[in-house]
Structure 1
Amino acid sequence: MRIVLVLGTSSGGVGRHVRTLACGLTTAGHDVLVAGPPTTQSTFDFTQTGATFAPLPISDRPHPLNDLRTTHTLRKLLADADIVHAHG
């Protein structure tokens, strides 16, 4: 099963939660993709859990042009997902 976990900017609880989910899901044999701002990968190292990481610029404030780009990228990332779990 292909599972995509999406998160926005995080420096604490949400990032730790997503890392815990990624670890458990990959251990159970699922194909996991974590998508979020590059800083979340730097902080939580999702790929160490066996998940794949895709940089996705999600900001904490609206930015119409960037939000449109992010939506376009997210659609591509979710194209063959069985489950999507978004956070934050």
Structure 2
Amino acid sequence: MSDRQDLDGLRVALVLGTSAGGVGRHVRSVAEGLVERGARVVVCGPAATEELFGFGAAGARFAEVDLADRPRPAGDARAVARLRRLLRGADVVHAHGLRA
């Protein structure tokens, strides 16, 4: 018997802002592990993070959300509205980083 919990069908959303290293690698690792355990995973973040870390190649769905590295009131309002739509129905939302 495995000590790994079965997450079959659990809907998990991972949110991250801009990243060029550690946070992006961590989210990729978490996404991959969740997918391997049967969770349905969506990673939400800037397009550049998908290009750098390949969340889709890890089995997660990627949804672009323009989360900037510093406050931008109008852009942040659009990002929040998009996240609201994307996160509807998620069982778990795990945000990574201050801007997320």
Identity %: 53
1:3 CA drift (Å): 0.0
Partner Cα separation in structure 2 for residue 60 and residue 49 of structure 1 = 25
TM-score norm. by structure 2 comes to 0.87
Q: Which residue identity does 1:60 align to in structure 2?
A: D
Aligned to 1:34: 43
Do structure 1's residue 72 and structure 2's residue 81 form an aligned pair? yes
For the aligned residues, what is the CA RMSD? 0.4
Partner Cα separation in structure 1 for residue 55 and residue 29 of structure 2 = 9
- Residues 15-30 of structure 1: matches in 2 within 5 Å? 15-30=24-39
Aligned to 2:70: 61
SS where residue 86 of structure 1 aligns? strand
Alpha-carbon displacement from aligned partner over 1:10-69 (angstroms, at most 9, x marks no partner): 000000000000000000000000000000000000000110000000001111110010
How many pairs align? 88
Indicate the structure whose relative CO is greater, using CA pairs within 8 Å and at least 6 residues apart. Answer: 1
SS where residue 14 of structure 1 aligns? helix
Aligned to 1:85: 94
Partner Cα separation in structure 2 for residue 6 and residue 61 of structure 1 = 16
Question: Could you tell me which of 4, 12, 17 is aligned with 2:13?
Answer: 4
Q: Which residue identity does 2:67 align to in structure 1?
A: I
Partner Cα separation in structure 1 for residue 70 and residue 16 of structure 2 = 14
